[in-house]
Structure formats: C-alpha cells, structure tokens
Amino acid sequence: MTNILILCTGNSCRSQMAHGWMEHLDIGNRLNVYSAGIETHGVNPKAIQVMKEAGTDISHHTSNHIDEYRKIDFDYVITVCDHAKEHCPYFPSDALRIHQNFKDPAQATGTDEEILTDFRRVRDEIKEFVEVFVKNKIS
C-alpha cells in the first residue's frame, strides 16, 4: 500500500477534494489516503456539495491536523496550497514531496452561484491533477 498525505492550510476544501478524488480514482485499493491541515477549519459544506455533484461523497471526512499523522511513514506528501508548503512545520519523513497550488475556493466572493462556480472549477482542476498523479506515480 502507498501512503499519501494531502496537505493544505485548513483541511477544509482543497485537500478534502484531493483526498476524495484520490480515493475515488484508486482502482484496486492501492492507496492509504490522508488529508490534513496546518490548522483545522472543518470540512466546507460547499466542497462536500460540489464533490457530491461529481459523484464523490466526502461528507464523512473530518478536518485533521498534521500532527495526528506524524507516526505514519508516508510515501508522498502533496501540498495543494502555497501557504501550507511555506508554513508547514517540520515533518520527519522520507516521503517524496509534491506541490501544486490551487486557488482557495473558500475565498470566492459574489452570488451563491458564482461561489459554487469557483468551487466547481477548483474541484475539476484538482481532479485533473490527481488523475495525472495516479497515472504517473501509482500505475
């Protein structure tokens, strides 16, 4: 099994969506996927909504702090926001570190529909990233 940690600032949107996609695309159950933040903000209801629209249920996810996973030997640590990459406390691991910044949809402004449009765009960008990662690193 391959252990993967997906990290962002609050473990609310981007890391949760990446976690959901990683599990959704794990054909053959080869991955142990975890997500965490350098803070915990709770799982954003709009992230749950747009992932459900795309056929992936993340409603059971919890917002976790990176310290909860210090004893796991990760193969990959993926940061999905610049803030987490720059401010992540020392994390003892030989894991391959991968970084891909995604805009924080929780910062979107406008009407409810405009905000959901931002969430959907980020959801789809994360899905593309995860598909390439799984194809190139796991297959």
Query: What's the CATH number where 63 sits?
Result: 3.40.50.2300
Residues marked active site are found at 8, 81, 88
Q: How confident is the model at residue 91 (pLDDT cuts 50, 70, 90)?
A: low
Q: pLDDT (tens digit, 9 = 90+) per residue, 15-69?
A: 999 999 999 998 778 999 999 998 999 999 999 999 999 999 999 999 999 999 9
At residue 10, what is the residue type?
G
Q: Domain span at residue 121?
A: 2-138
Q: How many domains does the chain have?
A: 1
Q: Percentage helix, strand, coil, to 5, in the chain?
A: 45, 15, 40
Supply the pTM of this predicted model.
0.94
